[in-house]
Structure 1
């Protein structure tokens, strides 16, 4: 399987998830009681688990396919399964939604933004199962050089670009993978995936890595510098677009 095929499969997973998720988010009410909140999370959890399983299986197919395509020797591959308790989903949803709901007046309509933020959390938790599958398999596979972070969208934040610019260096757990202050490697609405790397000279995402590495250097090799550099690039691009329109 190629990363492009993997992305299409993951898109299907997320489309099915959202089809089931949105009606549940629609029943959220202002100031939910503890019992109502628990019932909401309990109804949502099996849906998320199914999506995580589908995401994990798609990642396993990507890993096995890339192992062959990149010329690694045949051999057994270990795919550990991480524990995902309901408490993990509960904690994440409390962070973005429960407090906001509690701050509403009784009977007040739930802002659409709250539902969107809750949906973004659920989607990330589903996607993370696939990312984790790649990471954990690479850590246990003696044939893997490691895994690399690859951005797949048209707009990638500076923090993710910084991690993309490091290439296939993530063989073991590292604080460098964690987003500022959250202890999580991927953020809500993140478009990055993890890809296994077996051949340093040729692997999916190498071109994106080299482009990100150039941006990192041009931004002064610091996160704040990269943010300023990207902002300046966007500003200049906007000015040029305005001149052309004129």
Structure 2
């Protein structure tokens, strides 16, 4: 594991970027709840340029913060590191927001016929998508640095909250990743996890070994989707209702 000082820096930085992403996402949720449901397409056409600019600005800000964090984190581990520079993809952001916005509204309208319900669903989906898109500034910077810098040996998934969802727990339990060829950080809307870089191969810490043992016990005799379902049931049985929901 990284040193206690490096781990503390990661926790501090993780909370900082979550605060930024969640602030932007909450503002977008409020905007969506005030949507002109009589003509959702015209409403989206009016507001989407500003929404996209805010997401892109947040993404860029977190990418810049991530570069400073990564250099400091590496220095605490005795490594000199030059983090990569990444730029957001405006087309990808525009598509994700449109799917979470007017497309989600129309889909829910077809299901329920309720403008109020459709507006709530759209607001929730936009909030989740905005959180993920802004946090990509940090995550993409970290993962590109991993793949492009020889000083970095691997990375480990770190939970941002005390009770991560079953999906994130499953990925955390897989332990450290050292393959640069298959490097990919999986996240979902509202996911608060982040990758933390490693500069040497290391044994899995006790908490990861416990997760792995729990996975093997919970999923014994299952594979594929059945194993994931068994894991979700196991995690749900260990928690109070609502705890750790994604």
**1:1-246 mapped onto 2 (5 Å cutoff):** 2-18=9-25, 20-30=27-37, 32=39, 34-72=41-79, 74=80, 77-85=82-90, 87-102=91-106, 104=109, 108-109=115-116, 110-174=118-182, 177=184, 185-201=186-202, 206=205, 208-220=207-219, 222=223, 224-232=226-234, 234-235=236-237
Distance across 1 between alignment mates of 2:165 and 2:37 = 32
How far has the Cα of 1:206 moved from its partner? 4.4
Alignment check: 8 A CA contact 2:40 2:102 kept: no
The 3-state SS of whatever aligns with 1:32 is helix
How far has the Cα of 1:35 moved from its partner? 4.2
Which runs of 5 or more residues in structure 1 are unaligned? 179-184, 239-246
Q: How many residues align?
A: 226
How far has the Cα of 1:65 moved from its partner? 1.9
CA deviation vs aligned residue, 1:130-176 (integer Å, no higher than 9, x gap): 011110111111111122222222333333223222322154353x8
CA deviation vs aligned residue, 1:70-109 (integer Å, no higher than 9, x gap): 222x3x5141313421x32232133333234235499944
How far has the Cα of 1:198 moved from its partner? 0.7
**Residue 242 of structure 1: aligned partner:** none
Distance across 1 between alignment mates of 2:154 and 2:18 = 25
Alignment check: 8 A CA contact 1:138 1:196 kept: yes
The ranges of structure 1 where at least 4 consecutive aligned residues each deviate by more than 6 angstroms after the TM superposition are none
- Seen in structure 2, the aligned counterparts of structure 1 residues 23 and 156 have a Cα distance that, compared at 3 Å, is closer
Q: TM-score, normalised by structure 1?
A: 0.76
Distance across 1 between alignment mates of 2:83 and 2:49 = 31
Alignment check: 8 A CA contact 1:96 1:118 kept: yes
- Seen in structure 2, the aligned counterparts of structure 1 residues 140 and 208 have a Cα distance that, compared at 3 Å, is farther
Which runs of 5 or more residues in structure 2 are unaligned? 1-5, 241-246
Alignment check: 8 A CA contact 1:216 1:226 kept: no
